[in-house]
Amino acid sequence: MEPDEERAETPGEPEEESFGEMFDRSFVAPTRFEPGRKVSVRVVKVTPEWVFLDLGRKGEGVLAAKELPDEAGTVAVKEGDTLEAYFVSADGSEMLFTTRVAGGAAGAAQLEDASNSGIPVDGVVVKEIKGGYEVRLAGGARAFCPHSQMDLPRSGGQEEHVGKRAAFRITKYGEKGRNIVVSRRALLEEEEERKAREVMATLTEGMVMKGTVTAVREFGAFVSIGPIEGLIPISEIGWERVEDIQSVLSVGQEVEVAITRLDWANRRFSFSLKKTLADPWETAVDRFPAGSRHVGKVARLAAFGAFVSLGGGVDGLLHISKLGGGKRIRSAGEVLRAGQEIEVKVDSVDPVKRRVALSLPATESPDTPEGEAEDYAKYLAPPPAPPALGSLGEALKAKMERKGR
């Protein structure tokens, strides 16, 4: 057995350091960081409370795990990851780091550096003032955050910020710290972008996903699916015509949508609620067979007639030529009004072209005198054949035709 191996097996005897280990250690002890210094560190261990960092020959450090949460609330880093951190203080051989400038003298001394390098800074929203908020930063420095820079666009309402602590980015540092402008929105957008890159490879057009309504507008509703937000146009909310979106969707409501467009370059995403619902035209022939009568509601008036909702997302066209009780009319509005309930007869159904041709039952005509129902029936019937002229009439007709030549 070699001498070194024998010494290693001797219980209670301290292990002797090699010359190389003592040489390396000689560089560790004198190392000191200035508060606020930015360093690149490697994660060597993760616990629910702390993230342990390897600084190479400079030693080891710790960082509060609560600074790095993911969507589930757990720590978003793992062993082997590399991140940028800022030195706060040292307690003996243990060095404390942070991912943003926090309170205390160290924070106040490093605000300008944080502005130049983009380091996030902690702040407390003191009060709302004209155009935005007053924010108290590390070391007691005062800053201004415009209303537009406090939240993401379409964040879903007026959140109460006064009295709350948040991370900000300094966008302007002037007059030696007497004129500081900050943005919370910049950090929120960066986080959204990071999350979007993570899911980019997992989403494809046509997928059906669960999302949350973040805003409702006249032209549609915005829905967030994890880190991305897209628009459901009003035409894609349902198979039936939607006049008031708020009667169907509300902020905070969970919905299931189909992804119809993913434009990552321009950050434009479109969804459809309608495509997750059964297509009513697949059963239109069975529900509205030719010759059947139904009570519908006038959904919209057009120059060429009226669209009548038959229910279940199927509309039919009542052509202007079939209105007026046998009289020529200039517009459907002369005899119908939007929202009016009328009885109609189905003339034909084309599920491929998604068209239903309607007419009024021959026995009645809306908004016309009762006596005109018979005239309307005559209008629908084919024109009668001209009466026979007889032999004398035929001879006279033939003579006139010869003269015309």
Whether residue 94 is predicted with pLDDT greater than 80 in this model: the reply is no
- How are beta strands 142-146 and 94-98 bridged, if at all? unpaired
Taking Cα atoms as reference points, which of 182, 72, 85 lies closest to residue 126? Answer: 182
Mean pLDDT of 367-379: 36
Residue 131 φ then ψ, to 5°: 85, -5
Q: For 211, how many CA atoms within 13 A lie in the half-sphere containing its CB?
A: 31
Give the three-state DSSP class for 183.
strand
Task: Report d(CA 251, CA 378) in Å as an integer.
Answer: 54
Cβ atoms of 297 and 341 closer than 8 Å: yes
Contacts of 267 (CB under 8 A, 6+ apart): none
Exposed, middle or buried by CB within 10 Å (0-12, 13-18, 19+), for 286? exposed
pLDDT band, very low/low/confident/very high, at 104 (cuts 50, 70, 90)? low
Quote the pLDDT of residue 241: 80
- How are beta strands 355-359 and 314-319 bridged, if at all? parallel
Give the three-state DSSP class for 69.
strand
Domains and CATH numbers, the chain: 34-99 (2.40.50.140), 121-190 (2.40.50.140), 202-276 (2.40.50.140), 280-380 (2.40.50.140)
Mean pLDDT of the chain, nearest integer: 78
Cβ atoms of 50 and 62 closer than 8 Å: yes
Give the three-state DSSP class for 34.
coil
Polymer length in residues for the chain: 405
Torsion of the alpha carbons at 150, 151, 156 and 157, rounded to the nearest 10: 0
What tokens does 351 get? 């599920």
Task: Report d(CA 189, CA 153) in Å as an integer.
Answer: 10
pLDDT band, very low/low/confident/very high, at 238 (cuts 50, 70, 90)? confident
> 96-110, 138-152, 256-270: which range is least confident on average?
96-110
pTM of the full structure = 0.50
Structure confidence by residue, pLDDT tens digits, 131-169:
999 999 877 889 999 999 998 876 545 568 888 888 898
Contacts of 273 (CB under 8 A, 6+ apart): 232, 236, 237, 238, 255, 256, 257, 258
